[in-house]
Amino acid sequence: MRIKTLFLFALSVLALSCKDDKEIDNEGICPVEPSETVKKFFSESLPSYSTSGNESIFNFSKIEYGDSECFVVNSDEDFKSIVDPKIQLPAIDFNQNTLIVGQHCMPNSGFVLYSQSISDITDTLQLVLTYKSLDGGSADQVATYYFWGLYNKLPEKKVVLRIKRI
Amino acid sequence: MKRVLLAIFYAVSIIGCQKSFISDDNIISNSSSHLENDDSENFYYWCDGKKIPLHINRSKSFIVFREDEIQKDANVKSSNSLNFNRDNIYQILGIHSPKITLNNIRYQKQIVENNIDSGLDTTGIDYIAPFFTTNEGIGLGITDIFSVQLSSETDAMSLNKIVEDYNVELLGANKHDPSIYYLRCNNYSKGNALEIANCIYESGLFKYATPEFIVESFVDSVPNDPLFKNQWNLNNSTNTLIDIEYIEMMESYTFPHLNNVIVAVIDSGINLNHEDLNICDKSFNAHTGENISNVYGDHGTQVAGVIGAYSNNNKGICGVAPGVKLMSISLCFTKEAERLGISSSTTTQFANAIRYAANNGAKVINNSWSFNTSSPIAEINNAIIYAQKKGCIVVFSAGNDNAKVSQPAAGSPSGTIIVGSIGKDGYKSNFSNYGTSLDMCAPGEDIMTTDRSGGYTTVNGTSFSAPHVAGVAAMLFARDINIQSNRVRDILEQSVKKIGQYEYLGQDTKLNGPWNQYFGYGLINARAAMDAVNGEGPIKPILYSYLKEITNNDLFSMGLDYDIWDKVYLVEDGVGSSRFMIDNYDSSTIYEWRSSLPPYYGVGAYFDVSLPDTVLEEPVLHEVKCKALKNGSWTQSGLSLALVPYNYKY
C-alpha cells in the first residue's frame, strides 16, 4: 500500500513537471519558425494592436467588437492582394507554407498574445489565439489586435477564430 | 432694426464714456476686424486672481430689453433670445430671499448683430454691453448680472456702498452660499457688469467679483467646430430619440461658473499643449509623484477631448463641457508599461491619483480604466470615499468585456457613477459591460475626440461613455457652483432617457428610479439635467444622502428619498441593523444586513414616510432619527432635513 501510494505520488509529480502552460494551450498545429526577413517585415508593418483604426499596411476592413477578419495566404498573388501594392514583400515559399494574417477586437490593450495554434476540425480550421492578461490597470478602450503566423501548408479550408484568455 | 442701430450707438457711447473704468480706451475705430489692435490690455475679467484678456468684437452687442415697454420688433436680428422674469433670474442664480420686491417685469436678453441701417428707437432698452472674444476665439456676451463674494460676513455693509456708488440693484444672496451676492446693472448704472465687477475686485474688498457671461457657443445652435458634424454623440441627427440633447442644453442655459469647474482626468496623461483643450494649471504624475503629469499613452488626451474640448473655436471637435478646466493626472497602464519597459502603476498610485484630484479642487473625477481582477480594490475604494466626502463626483467606465462591470467600478462605494456604452442606434454596445453595478449609459462608439499628437481621432469603448457623464456633471456645477455632489448624482440618474428594448423596473438598491442591467437608469440627458437644476422636469425631491463610516457603538448618517433609506458603510465586516423615526413616528421595524466584503456598505433599510399625498407648496422640515445596531450596541442620532417640492421657486 505504501509503495503504491509513493508510486502514484511520484507519477503525479512527473506529470505536473512535464505539463507547462504552453503545452496545454498548444494542442494543435503550431506555427513554424519564420525567416528573419519575414519576422522583421511583420514587426515593422503590423502593430500588435491599435486603438484608432487600421495603422498597418494591410487592407483590413473596419470591424466591430465581436467581429474578426482572417486572410489565409497560399500564394504570392494572395499575399500581394492583402497589402498596399507599393510595399516590398518578403519571400515566402508558399509551396511549403500557409500564411495567416488577421485582426479582431479585445476589450482593452491590456493583453499580450501568448500562443497560437490551428486545429483541423472536419470542414474548418480553428485558429486558437491565447492571450495573457497583463497585471495592473488598463484603459477601457476597445483595441483591435492584429496577428500573423506562418504554418506548414494547410488544407484549403475556412479558418475560424477562437480567442482564449488566460 | 432701429433697435439694433441703437445698440451700436449705445455700445459706442457707453464704452466711450467709461474711461474712468477702462483706461486708454481705443475701441472706436472703423476697423471691422474682431481682434483688431491689442485691446486685451484694456478688456479683461478676473478669474482665480488672474486677468483673463478679452478682445472686443464690434459685430455684436449684448442687450436687455424690458418687454413691458417694447413692442415686438421682427427686424431685430438676434442669434439668441432668452426670456427672463425676475423669478427666473433668482432661480437660475440660486438666489435666496431676494432683497427687492418682485415686480414681474419681464426682460428679454439678446445678442444682437450690429448690421444697422438707420433710425433710432430707444424704447425698452434697459442695458447694453459690448461683445467680446477670448484668446481661444470664443464669443462672450456680458449680461446685466454680476456677483460678488464677501471676504467676511461683516463686509455686508460694503454691498450698500456698491449699490450707491455704481447705481446697481442688489438682487440677493445665493441660497447655498450666503456670502455670494448678485447685483444687476441697467442703463443708469456707472458701467456695464464687466467694468463694475473689475473695479470691485480691484478694490480688494471682496473675494471675487465677476460678471455673468453668455458664451457664444451656448447660443449658436450648431458649433462651428469643423469636426462637429462627425460627433453623433453630441447631435444624433439620425436618431433624435437617442440624442443626449447637448445642443438643447447649450441653447437653453448659460454656465456662469464654467471657468471655476475642474474635471480631473485620471488616465495616461493629457497632451498639455493640445490647442483644443483648456488645461488646468495643476497636474500630477501619480506614477512618479511629480507635480507635472506625463503622457504615457494616447488614451488620456482622447478622454479629455470628449469631456472638455473647446467649442465654437473653429477647430476640431466640441466637448460636452466645452472649455472646462481639465486636470491631467497621469498613470502608467499595463500596455504602456510593457512598451516603455517600466512597471505599471499600482493600486496605491491609482488611489493617490484620486486623492490628489480631490485635494486640488476637482469637482468631477473621470476614471476610464479598470483592473483585471474580480475582487473590489479596497485601497481605491477608500480613495473614492475620500473624494466623495470632499464633494467630488466620481465617474467610472463599466468596462468592455460584454460581461459584468469591471473592477474597481463594480465594487466601488455607493455614489460612484458607473457608465456603460450605447451606439448611434440606441442599442447597448456589444462590448459594454452590464449588471447590477451599472448606473447609466452614454455614447461609446465611433467617438471623435482629440489625440495625443495634437490632432483628432475616432475611438470606441466605455472609456468614452464615462466622459459624457463627467462632462454633464461638470456643466451642472458650471450652472450652480454650490450644488451638492449627491444632488448632482441624483439629477444625472433621474433625468435620463429610458431608451432601448429592455424594461426598466424598480429595484430596492436603485434609488433613482426604474432601472435595467444593460442601460442602468438610462441614457444621459444633458438638457433634462439642467432643467432639474432649475427645478423643472420630472425630478423628485430627493433629500441628500450621506455616507459615513461607523465603528462599534458609533452611528451612521442616512440618505433619504420619499422612502427613507440608509446607505450603511461599515469599517469592518459585521452585522448592522437600523430603524427609523420621522416626526416622532417610529417605524418599529428593524432591518438587518450583513456585509462581509470591503467596503462593507449596503442598503440597510427603508420604510415609507407616511406623508400626506399632496403637493407641497413650501419646503417642509422633518426631524428624522435613526437608530443603528452594530455588533450588539444601539446608538442614536437625529437629523433635520427638508422635503422640498420640485418646481419650488425661491
Whether A141 shows a pLDDT value over 70: the answer reads: yes
Q: Does A137 contact chain B (CB < 8 Å)? A: yes
Residues of B whose CB is below 8 A from A64: 430
Q: Map residue B57 onto helix, strand or coil.
A: strand
Q: Catalytic residue at B465?
A: no
Task: Categorize the per-residue pLDDT at B144 as very low, low, confident or very high, splitting at 50, 70 and 90.
Answer: confident
Query: Cα dihedral angle (A86, A87, A90, A93), rounded to 10 degrees?
Result: -50
Q: What are A22-39's pLDDT values in tens digits? A: 333 446 899 999 999 999
Nearest Cα neighbor of B362 from B463, B467, B476, B265 is: B265
Contact A53 B457 (CB under 8 A): yes
Q: Does A130 contact chain B (CB < 8 Å)? A: no
Residues of B whose CB is below 8 A from A109: 333-335
Residues of A whose CB is below 8 A from B333: 109-110, 136-139
Contact A52 B371 (CB under 8 A): no
Nearest Cα neighbor of B412 from B441, B440, B375, B443 is: B375
Return the pLDDT at B578: 55
Instruction: Give the containing element (helix H, strand E) for B210.
Output: strand B206-215
Q: Which three cell numbers stand for residue B455?
A: 490632432
Point out the least confidently predicted range of A81-90, B35-44, B552-561. Answer: B552-561
Contact B464 A52 (CB under 8 A): no
Contact B335 A134 (CB under 8 A): yes
Q: How far is A118 from chain B (nearest CA, A)?
A: 25
Q: What are B563-578's pLDDT values in tens digits? A: 333 444 444 455 555 5
Whether B115 shows a pLDDT value over 90: the answer reads: no
Percent of chain B topping pLDDT 90: 37
Range B304-320 burial, b when 16+ CB lie within 10 A, else e: bbbbbbbbbbebbbbbb
Residues in Cβ contact with A62 at an 8 Å cutoff, skipping those fewer than 6 apart: A53, A54
Q: Does B434 contact chain A (CB < 8 Å)? A: no
Q: What is the DSSP string of B561-613?
A: SSEEEEEEEESSSEEEEEEEEETTEE----EEEEE-STT-EEEEEEEE----S
Q: Does B370 contact chain A (CB < 8 Å)? A: yes
Q: Which one of the listed residues B158, B463, B485, B578 is annotated catalytic?
A: B463
More confident residue, B330 or B123: B330
Task: Categorize the per-residue pLDDT at B74 as very low, low, confident or very high, splitting at 50, 70 and 90.
Answer: very low
The full 3-state SS of A65-114, as one line of letters, equals: CCCEEEEEECCHHHHHHCECCCCCCCCCCCCCEEEEEEEEEECCCCEEEE
More confident residue, B468 or B500: B468
B residues 95-114 near A, CB within 8 Å?
none
Q: Catalytic residue at B463?
A: yes
Return the pLDDT at B427: 92
- Among B298, B299, B399, whose Cβ lies nearest the Cβ of A107? B399
* CA B251-B253-B256 angle, 5° bins: 130
Determine contact, residues B143/B214, Cβ cutoff 8 Å: yes
Q: What are B199-211's pLDDT values in tens digits? A: 989 988 888 888 8
Return the pLDDT at B87: 43
Q: How far is A3 from chain B (nearest CA, A)?
A: 43
To which residue does cell 423669478 refer?
B87
Task: Categorize the per-residue pLDDT at B69 as very low, low, confident or very high, splitting at 50, 70 and 90.
Answer: low
Compute φ and ψ for B252, nearest 5 degrees: -95, -20
User: Beta partners for A139?
Assistant: B369
Parallel, antiparallel or unpaired: strands B50-66 and B44-47: antiparallel
Q: Which three cell numbers stand for residue B318?
A: 466640441
Q: Which three cell numbers stand for residue B375?
A: 475582487
Parallel, antiparallel or unpaired: strands B125-134 and B206-215: unpaired
Contact B430 A136 (CB under 8 A): no
Whether B244 shows a pLDDT value over 50: the answer reads: yes
Return the pLDDT at B76: 38
Point out the least confidently predicted range of A117-126, B17-26, B395-404, B628-637. Answer: B17-26
Return the pLDDT at B29: 27
Residues of A whose CB is below 8 A from B401: 107
- Among A52, A112, A137, whose Cβ lies nearest the Cβ of B369? A137
A residues 35-74 near B, CB within 8 Å?
49, 51-53, 64-66
Q: How far is A93 from chain B (nearest CA, A)?
A: 32
Q: What is the mean pLDDT of chain B?
A: 73
Q: Which one of the listed residues B39, B267, B298, B439 is annotated catalytic?
A: B267
CA–CA distance, B554 with B630 (Å, rounded to integer): 8
Q: Map residue B58 onto helix, strand or coil.
A: strand
Return the pLDDT at B641: 42
H helix intervals, B94-222: 156-166, 193-202
CA–CA distance, B584 with B588 (Å, rounded to integer): 11
Would you put residue B583 in left (φ > 0), alpha (ψ -120 to 50) or beta?
left
Contact A137 B297 (CB under 8 A): no
User: How many angstroms separate the Cα of B599 from the Cα of each of A65, B568, B576, B606?
Assistant: 33, 10, 14, 20
Q: Map residue B76 onto helix, strand or coil.
A: coil
Closest-approach residue (CA) in chain B for A107: B400
Q: Taking residues A2-22, report their average pLDDT.
A: 39
Nearest Cα neighbor of B444 from A156, A65, A133, A109 is: A65
- Among A66, A105, A138, whose Cβ lies nearest the Cβ of B372? A138
How many helices, marked H, and strands, marked E, lie in chain A?
4, 8
Contact B459 A51 (CB under 8 A): yes
ipTM of the complex as predicted: 0.77
Q: What are B167-220's pLDDT values in tens digits? A: 998 877 765 567 788 888 888 898 889 999 999 899 888 888 888 877 664 444
Q: How many CA atoms within 13 Å lie on the side-chain side of A15?
A: 6
Whether B26 shows a pLDDT value over 50: the answer reads: no
B residues 246-305 near A, CB within 8 Å?
267-268, 297-299, 302
Contact B370 A140 (CB under 8 A): yes
Q: Catalytic residue at B446?
A: no
Closest-approach residue (CA) in chain B for A144: B460
Q: What is the DSSP string of B408-458?
A: TTTTPPTT-EEEEEE-TTSSBPTT--BSTT--EEEE-SSEEEE-TTSSEEE
Point out the least confidently predicted range of A28-42, B109-123, B446-460, B554-568. Answer: B554-568
Q: Does A142 contact chain B (CB < 8 Å)? A: yes
Q: What is the DSSP string of B224-288?
A: --GGGGG-TTT--TT-GGG---HHHHHHH---TTGGG-EEEEEES---TT-TT--B-S--EETTT
Return the pLDDT at B269: 97
Whether B98 shows a pLDDT value over 70: the answer reads: no
- Among B331, B370, B430, whose Cβ lies nearest the Cβ of A65? B430
Task: Categorize the per-residue pLDDT at B15 as very low, low, confident or very high, splitting at 50, 70 and 90.
Answer: very low
Compute CA B379 distance to the chain's CA centroid, rounded to the nearest angstrom.
28
Task: Categorize the per-residue pLDDT at B304 as very low, low, confident or very high, splitting at 50, 70 and 90.
Answer: very high
Omega prior to B408 cis, within 30 of 0: yes
Instruction: Centre a 10 Å sphere on the Cβ of residue B559 and count the other Cβ atoms it contains.
Output: 22
Return the pLDDT at B222: 76
